[in-house]
Amino acid sequence: MSEQKAEQVVVEARGLVKYFPVYSKGVVLKKRVGFVHAVDNISFQIRKGETLALVGESGCGKTTTAKVMLDLEHPDAGQALFEGQELFSTLKKGSRAEKMAIRRKMQLVFQNPYGSLDPRMTVYDIISEPFEIHRHIPRSEWKERVYELLRIVGLEEYHAERYPHEFSGGQRQRICIARALAVDPKFIVADEPVSSLDVSIRAQILNLLVDLQKQKDLSYLYISHDLSSVRQISHRVAVMYLGEIVEEAPTDELFRKPVHPYTQALISAVPIPDPATKVQRIILPGEVPSPINPPGGCRFHPRCPYATDICSEKKPEYEKIAEDHYVACHWWKKFY
């Protein structure tokens, strides 16, 4: 990334690593037999008002990355910077005020709006709970602020007195978004926010996220396996495979000319809702290998149609091939 843009960077991840230990079976003596390489040396930047999408198949580590970014999982190595301030050391050593301040900058919207709202709290309690914790708004203004948040996400004032079970999935997701906005965050992680919703409701929530971003200059880390929604909502896309980012590029460029063979296969695998468009599908052989013992060299080589000897021996560099476009592949020149 060029220097003049650096000041706009709101969120930055530097070399994040998260391994989960795996234990052998056994009741008394459990031996550690290996590690799940969930997130393996990941770096990215998100600018102000920008959406970075993290895509990949199940088990590639995208949700773990999100959790690490919010310190819901503590990383084994790496740094996360919020407007230049390092998250993990602040949370460890900082004063309470500092901790609260950095926490307020980030929020999370989950995949399942049925599991992420407390069924015994009213919508008012849910949305005002962050006020209780952060105390950034005087109590006298809470009510007005809750109503305002409800209006922003497209709900009505009278919804405040209701309980989550009275709402449909799309409405619940709106409540989750309102709760996330309650602390005026700079950065929102949206982990598959529309995956559990019906098609006609998905468009509502995606449009809402885009509108809010424009109004409030929010930065999003949008995590999804659904490439079509990624195309709509994100500015840049990072593709993950087995705990690593294999390609990162501006959205249009990535979909127009994907460079990494995995990105190519992933994009070609998505059915296009138009019978007149016939895509040549690249069918990958086999399945994603186990992240406990990931393949050596390039992790994608056992499934890659273009793999050669070097791919199984040497790990490819994560190279910059154009402005904002990075790829980890020995043969990227062949595809670019």
Partner 1 sequence: MGEVKLGDVLLEVQGLRTYFFTEAGIVKAVDDISYYVKKGESVGLVGESGSGKTVSALSVMRIVPKPGRILQGSVKFEGEDLLLKGESEMRKMRGTKLAMIFQDPTSSLNPVFSVESQLTEIIRQHQDVTKEEARDRAKKLLEVVGIPEAEKRLSEYPHQFSGGMKQRICIARALALEPELLFGDEPTTNLDVTIQAQVLELLKKLQKDMNMSLVMITHDMGIIADMTQRVVVLYAGRVAEVSRTYDLYKRPKHPYTEALLGAVPRLDKRKVLDVIPGNIPNLIDPPSGCRYHPRCKYMTDICKEKVPTLEETEDGHLVACHHWRELTLRAEE
Place of tokens 């959205």: 251
Phi-psi region of 281 (alpha: psi -120 to 50; beta: other; left: phi over 0): beta
What is the closest distance, in whole angstroms, from the C-beta atom of residue 280 to partner 1 in the complex?
A: 11
For partner 1, which stretch binds (CB under 8 A), given 106-114, 134-142, 228-236, 305-313? Answer: 228-236
Give the bridge partners for 322, in sequence order.
325
d(C-alpha 106, C-alpha 14), whole Å: 17
Provide the 10 A C-beta neighbour count for residue 39: 32
For partner 1, which stretch binds (CB under 8 A), given 44-52, 61-69, 103-111, 198-206? Answer: 198-206
What is the closest distance, in whole angstroms, from the C-beta atom of residue 72 to partner 1 in the complex?
A: 24
CB 20 within 8 A of CB 38: yes
Asked if 265 is part of the footprint of partner 1 (rule: CB under 8 A), the reply reads: yes
CB 249 within 8 A of CB 256: no
Asked if 65 is part of the footprint of partner 1 (rule: CB under 8 A), the reply reads: no
What is the closest distance, in whole angstroms, from the C-beta atom of residue 131 to partner 1 in the complex?
A: 29
Give the strand order in the sheet containing 9-23: 32-47, 9-23, 77-82, 85-86
Instruction: Name the CA radius of gyration of the chain, rounded.
Output: 21
Nearer to partner 1, 104 or 231 (CB): 231
Nearer to partner 1, 87 or 177 (CB): 177
Asked if 2 is part of the footprint of partner 1 (rule: CB under 8 A), the reply reads: no
CB 188 within 8 A of CB 108: yes
d(C-alpha 265, C-alpha 269), whole Å: 6
CB 113 within 8 A of CB 176: yes
Asked if 199 is part of the footprint of partner 1 (rule: CB under 8 A), the reply reads: yes
Read out DSSP for 39-78? EEEEEEEEETT-EEEEE--TTSSHHHHHHHHTTSS--SEE
Binders of partner 1 among residues 81 to 120 (CB under 8 A) are none
Asked if 204 is part of the footprint of partner 1 (rule: CB under 8 A), the reply reads: yes
Site string for partner 1, 286-315 (x = CB under 8 A): -xx---------------------------
What is the closest distance, in whole angstroms, from the C-beta atom of residue 59 to partner 1 in the complex?
A: 9
Asked if 201 is part of the footprint of partner 1 (rule: CB under 8 A), the reply reads: yes
Asked if 168 is part of the footprint of partner 1 (rule: CB under 8 A), the reply reads: yes
For partner 1, which stretch binds (CB under 8 A), given 5-13, 100-108, 141-149, 283-291? Answer: 283-291
CB 101 within 8 A of CB 135: no
- Interface residue with partner 1 among 61, 113, 130, 170 (CB under 8 A) is 170
d(C-alpha 5, C-alpha 317), whole Å: 24
- Interface residue with partner 1 among 269, 295, 302, 307 (CB under 8 A) is 269
Asked if 228 is part of the footprint of partner 1 (rule: CB under 8 A), the reply reads: yes
Nearer to partner 1, 95 or 280 (CB): 280
Binding positions for partner 1, rule: CB under 8 A: 57-58, 168, 170-171, 198-204, 206-207, 225-229, 231-232, 251-252, 255, 265-277, 281, 283-284, 287-288
